Chains A and B, each alone.
Chain A
């Protein structure tokens, strides 16, 4: 028993447990939200404007919709959009970073220029512009978030690849006559994968926050969707009349989900860096 406790206290095991716990909770929220989508949309005017109570933990809104199920399905939607956009944007970052570092000075200059350009327009403004271009709605947010989140990870991966390119084993491979594609695929890509996955998970929180923000402004998901941004922007009209629960509880849940993703990303980073040290030793 004591041995087990000691084992659990080791940083690596603790990080793994944190990671699995965060992932499990997020998965549960996602599935629960998908399961109660029907209830989230159901209106019942006999129970409208109820403050949080035993039956309706999060209260109900002016159309008698249960805020708990609405929040859950909104979070579920956020998580799914977050996962998709973060994944696509991380892949874009990987492709851009690797090709900038391997295709020579011209490609590198072009990428640096593009990163500077994307960084120069404030994210929210760029999201608004892209959302307009796509006619708002689901695709507007999704494309917008993918387009605004790849830059810093691309920069990171580019730096990493630049370093790996100088390393001994890559030099040897080149002298042995391996083709550039083979070097990139077999020797460099595996080296940046830890960075890639950690960066991917750490992109989730940003993606989710930006999705909620853009939806809140009215450029994202449409108001028929039970999205967190929609819930919070609707709640604004009822704050002055003292219906605090409409904004407070869904907001806290959103922050909790984002924190869980952050935790998962940090744990993953911790796991990997410890790994790297052990390999070096």
Chain B
């Protein structure tokens, strides 16, 4: 290069993340290894934090007991029932608030006022109303699920471009068809994102509700084993909850991939 020429300095790097799968795997393995080592070499007392290995053993044993599957069944059915009730009510309310000015005017202040209440605080009241059985737990979960679903639904409808609705009207589509073919598909990404939040809320609330007033369920199991200082069992219960959360997340991702193929 002649002396009067200089290369232009590169300054466009960074701010662009790449996928580094190996780093994730190695870091995770390293974490487990350090944890196992810390317990094995007596740095951590197993009763406070059992080793990954003993948690895995406890989990394997647990899977062979009938009571574990009863607990899992109880928690799952509560999540399912509560989530279904809350989702249906939330979708209906959100739809009304997305479509009708009156429903919006009534709904927004009510939802804004009630949304911040930690729903688990209402469990004692719901137990008074509905008894200690299943319905009070369903209602707690349903309440927690209702609000994010309603909000995701009406904000999803808000996000549907008005130009698409006008287009449909300009071709003479009736109201029901516009709702089915334009508004709902347009709101679907937001509704599905709401499902993610509501599913996480349902998982949180089922555990909390079971810790307050239940004989069965993973939440009750975790609480009982904690009281008995059976920390390996306790952690196994926590792992089960984590797996439950992961499964729900995967299910929703699969649903999104299927329904939002067009994105």
Are A and B co-members of a single complex?
A: no
* Interface set of A (CB-CB < 8 Å, partner B): none
Binding site for A on B (CB under 8 A): none
